Amino acid sequence: MRIGLISDTHIPEACEHLPAPVFDAFAGVDLVMHAGDVYVNRVLDELARIAPVIAAIGNGDEGLDGHRFKLAPDPRVRTAHLIEVEGLRIGLAHALPTPDETSQAVFERAMQRHFGGPVDVLVMGHSHIEGVVRYGATLVVNPGSATLPRNLIDVPGTVAILEVAAGGRVTAEIIRLG
């Protein structure tokens, strides 16, 4: 299974529509996972033209912190999603505290709270900083931001592709959009 990962699109604050290279990068994916800070539901509709979409609600999607956008209720959007592919538990959330920020114990409690236990792959956003890193048994993938990479304007953003092969072999690749 090939999964397109995107986060922190901040539309229409960052730009009016998803950058065209997102559609090229996600050509042929089976699912799109948006790790939050969508802002407006039409972004999910644009992504749904590629493949089915699930999204995590981000801190900016709730109209908090002075943000003027609030994501309308949508069955594709939850605080967290948990899917199983080829025996792997894949979790999607906007932000969880990772061991580089806190401790392994806090990370494990956050996975328990969001997913009912540890996951094999965690997809998250929030930082706008792309990366693929392993914490113990969990592969953490942050696709960065397709529109505001590292909170910079007019710089090509990033997305990621998660490939899950037969037997649960998993790889993740960050894709630069420019």
**Cα 178 to Cα 110: distance, rounded to the nearest angstrom:** 34
Per the structure, the count of domains in the chain is: 1
User: Structure tokens of 168?
Assistant: 């649960």
In DSSP terms, 126 is beta-bridged to none
**Which contacts qualify for 69-75: CB closer than 8 Å, 24 or more apart?**
69/12, 69/13, 69/39, 69/40, 71/38, 71/39, 71/40, 71/41, 72/41, 74/41, 74/44
Identify the domain containing residue 158 by its residue range: 2-176
pLDDT of 67: 62
Separation between Cα atoms, residue 91 and residue 115, nearest integer Å: 7
- Whether this prediction's pTM lies above 0.75 is answered by yes
Tokens describing residue 112: 């328990």
The pLDDT of residue 64: 67
Predicted pLDDT at 66: 64
Residue 65 is predicted with a pLDDT of 60
Q: Tell me, what CATH number does 14's domain have? A: 3.60.21.10
Residues in the chain, pLDDT under 70 = 64-67
pLDDT of 62: 83
Taking only the tens place, the pLDDT of each residue in 51-75 is 999 999 999 898 766 667 788 999 9
pLDDT at 70: 84
Owner of token pair 């996975």: 111
Q: Where are the beta strands (DSSP E) in 30-130?
A: 31-34, 53-56, 77-78, 80-85, 88-93, 121-123
